[in-house]
Amino acid sequence: MTITKAMGIFLVGSVLLHFTVIINADWLQAQDANRAATTRWEYKIVDHLSGTSQIQKALETAPDEGWEIVGTVSETANVGSFRVRKGDSSGSLSVRTHVSLICKRPKP
């Protein structure tokens, strides 16, 4: 049996087309798997905690509810009044710190 040039080109073309379809199918399956693996997140801010006990309680309970703490924000402010008179200084001044926790967990 003799293979003509046209038959050879047809056979090579068929083989290449077959491999192209297989490669594209594998690529599409990989893309679908990547899309499925993308996690959607839910976020929560536990705001204005003051005092060690409140902060510690929030840090301990967040993981029990599935939350991962990913950041903190703290704000320090002077609270109170302080008056200076000639020869006399009276009043009170205290520092108050507020802490916010930034949490995330996978969406159900």
Residue 59: CB atoms within 10 A of its CB come to: 15
User: Tokens in use for 59?
Assistant: 């840090």
| Closest by CA position to 106, among listed 75, 76, 65 | 65
From residue 86, how far is each of 43, 78, 81, 83, 89 by CA, in Å?
53, 23, 17, 10, 8
Instruction: Record the tokens describing residue 40, joined without a space.
Output: 């959607």
57 and 33, same structural domain? no
* C-alpha to C-alpha distance for 65 and 69, rounded to whole angstroms: 11
Residue 92: domain span = 39-108
Do 54 and 101 share a structural domain? yes
Per-residue pLDDT of the chain (108 residues; tens, 9 = 90+): 555 666 556 555 555 444 444 555 565 666 666 665 678 899 998 887 677 788 888 889 989 999 999 988 888 777 766 666 666 666 666 777 788 889 999 988
Report how many domains make up the chain. 2
pTM of the predicted structure, to 2 decimals: 0.51
